Amino acid sequence: MYLLPKHLSRAIAASFALTLALVTLSPARAADTAAPPPQLIDRIVAVVNEGVITQRQLDEKTAEVAQQLQSSGNTLPSHKVLEQQVLKRMIIDELQLETAKRMGIKIDDMTLNDTLNTIAANNQMSLDDLRKRVIASGQPWKHFVRNIRDRLTMQKLEQREVGDRVHITHQEVRDFLAQHANQLDPGVEYHLAQILIPIPGAAAPKQIEAALNKAEDIRKQTEQGTPFSKLAIADSAGQNALKGGDLGWMTTDQMPTYFVRTVNVLKTGEVSQPIRSPSGYHLVKLLGLRGGKQIKTTEYKVKQILITPNALLSNTQAKAKIERLRNEILHGASFAKLAQANSMDPGSAANGGDLGWLNPAQLVPQFSKVMESLPLNTLSQPFHSPFGWHLIEVTGKRAVDSTEKMLHAQAQNILYQRKRAEALNIWLRRLRDEAYVDIRLDQGSATAKTGAAS
């Protein structure tokens, strides 16, 4: 229970990367150059099932995205193109948040605060400094916090509906390594950007051909000097379109399998030929390359007691219980016996709390931070993570060559990411197709509706 699945860890890391972009903005407002004239009267621009998106919400989000793009040096498309892309993203987000609400998925305040503190720590500032930086950038703090809560909610929903249903067998990993081991280097990271030209489900040959032609035309535009990021903002259907298509730094295990062979031969700054996937045609640009061959890591031998709040145990009660257990250990009680009797991590409780040797990269940030800073054979203070309240002790520390282990992890994650990406795209497409969506952005134009009215 102390572990954070790698795919979820990367999703949250991606969310943090976007968040850090938000807090490093200059005070100058992008709305001055990219936003439309102030709207005197608010209006509905989209109906999404039983919810609505208003012009004011769209204006605020468009200005926010424009500000992020300008601060990161991206060239903005026309306001109309940017607004349309933002609205598409808002519709998908609204559908996911509606689904999460219907399923009872929530992000508690403790998890939200932990995330905000992690964002602040990653930016080398206090939470109060983070709040001041956000406000100075022109974004209300409550909007920033709401965006983080919404993003965590959608990640939790996607994990439940898609991620938890994807399974990789040992045989699949062995087969993959037998075919592709020479392509893997666990020390190399690639900075990628992409443009996705979608192909609808059950597409006719003409639709597939049209998508390919569009991808090839966009690639020609990049060769003629049009910034890749500008084209991504305007034309990409990828979830990262509003970041100029930027996917961030990743190893081959973090990227879709259909990227790997192409990325391995790209030169920095080069744009790939169109790559076909179940979602459509991708153009990938290699923005940077870093890393080496051998991977050396530090592992920690740890034992823990975990108390998880639930319907019968409030967060306050859980914290009080872990504090009481810590006091008993300090007064001579056996850590192992207390773990066996009280810890709510079934995997380690039976072993007296022993977690074995752990790699920090496999852990949630709250756990790894305490573990790495704790002196040997010293009882930690109680600390909170998304899994509950922890009490840990580090009993050993060693440096290991993790190259072979990382190769196996890469193979497993390449296979996982491929299956998850395909499943996520299918799920999002179904979510959109089954929804009632009434777009009213262009006054006087025909109303676009999909799905059946409920």
Question: If pLDDT is split at 50, 70 and 90, which confidence band does 180 have?
Answer: confident
Model pLDDT for residues 349-361, shown as the tens digit of each residue? 999 999 999 989 8
Model pLDDT for residues 79-131, shown as the tens digit of each residue? 999 999 999 999 999 999 999 999 999 998 888 998 998 888 878 889 999 99
Cα–Cα distances (Å) from 338 to 4, 297, 371, in that order, read 25, 31, 20
What is the pLDDT averaged over residues 326-342? 96
**185, pLDDT greater than 90:** no
Work out the angle between the directed axes of helices 141-161 and 6-23 (0-180°, nearest 10). Answer: 160
Instruction: Tell whether the torsion through CA atoms of 66, 72, 77 and 81 is positive or negative.
Output: negative
Cα–Cα distances (Å) from 85 to 35, 134, 420, 441, in that order, read 14, 24, 24, 12
- Taking alpha carbons only, the member of 352, 415, 340, 1 closest to residue 171 is 415
Amino acid at 255: M
Which of 35-39, 122-126, 346-350, 369-373 shows the lowest per-residue confidence on average (mean pLDDT)? 35-39
**36, pLDDT greater than 60:** no
What is the pLDDT averaged over residues 60-68? 88
Q: What is the pLDDT of residue 76?
A: 85
CB–CB of 248/191 below 8 Å? yes
More confident residue, 71 or 316: 316
Domains defined for the chain, CATH in brackets: 6-161 (1.10.4030.10), 170-293+405-450 (3.10.50.40), 296-401 (3.10.50.40)
Q: Which residues touch 332 (CB under 8 Å, ≥6 apart)?
A: none
**395, pLDDT greater than 90:** yes
CB–CB of 144/213 below 8 Å? no
Cα–Cα distances (Å) from 369 to 97, 157, 385, in that order, read 31, 26, 11
**440, pLDDT greater than 80:** yes
The mean pLDDT value of the chain amounts to 84
**187, pLDDT greater than 90:** no
Q: What is the pLDDT of residue 203?
A: 81
**35, pLDDT greater than 60:** no
Which of 34-43, 287-296, 321-330, 428-437 shows the lowest per-residue confidence on average (mean pLDDT)? 34-43
Longest dimension (CA), the chain: 77
CB–CB of 10/189 below 8 Å? no
DSSP class of residue 431 equals H
Q: What angle do CA 398, 413, 194 make, to 5 degrees?
A: 120
